[in-house]
Structure 1
Amino acid sequence: MRKQHFKISLQISLLIIVFAIPSLINSQNDTNTNAKETLNIGFVLYTKGNTPGTLFARWNYANKYSGPGLATGGPRTTGYAGKYHVRYFYENGKFSDEYDLVIEKAGDFYDVSWIINEKVEAKGVGMEVKDGLAVGWRRISD
């Protein structure tokens, strides 16, 4: 009797799973659709500013948000590696975000971190191009 009860319980569990899978797939598809609408991918192009230790930024996040930015307080040497403070703005001029920006040389490429209160909020990788330092990045959502 106990074996039969177990078999019936197992069959009921399997039926629940079979009927739940389409619902889970549909909710996963909805999540993927939303993810496509707001990809966790950004891009920024840094160019040398007129003042040593500054960088101009042109940024984009998920092809939904974009604007200019200015990084200050960096090294007064050539190259991009260093520690900066960066402020970003939207196209309309309104303030967006500000971070401590760390750019580190990694061979021919760069590792980039955006930090608030000593916590890394975004990470990226970059490379020097003709017009500046091109960086792809994503927000860290741990």
Structure 2
Amino acid sequence: MNNQQAAHLLQQKGLKRTKLRVALLQHFVKTPHAQSYADVKEALSVATDKSTLYRNLTAFEEAGLIHSINDHSGIGKYAFGQLPVKGDEHAHFVCESCETVYCVDGLLPAQPKLPRGFQTKQVQTIIKGICANC
């Protein structure tokens, strides 16, 4: 994704174009697995402080550019793509060796039968194992 494509996508999502946002979007597009805050910070070539990066991650998530995943580590991770909506859900695979988190498209999370009066907002399926790289 070049700068012009990134700027266009940001504009479509109602986000102002900044160097950080373009770099952040380009990073997520080219990264095939979920990234923690530390991973993202390390990978960016644009200098930024902690609160600015978190604000932008939040803005990206609210705009549907990325979604967050809570894996076994307790550290939130972010992956490119919108938070799954009904009919577009997917599972996440966590490698127990390298701790990389991957989105697994086409594998729907199980919908639990909840007691009367309970409402499901989101179901997250985490599959643990060893990834192809390990």
TM-score range, shorter chain: under 0.3
Structure (1 or 2) with the larger CA radius of gyration: 1
Taking CA–CA contacts closer than 8 Å with sequence separation of 6 or more, which of the two structures ends up with the larger relative contact order?
2
Higher strand share: 1
When normalised by structure 2's length, the TM-score is 0.27
Higher helix share: 2
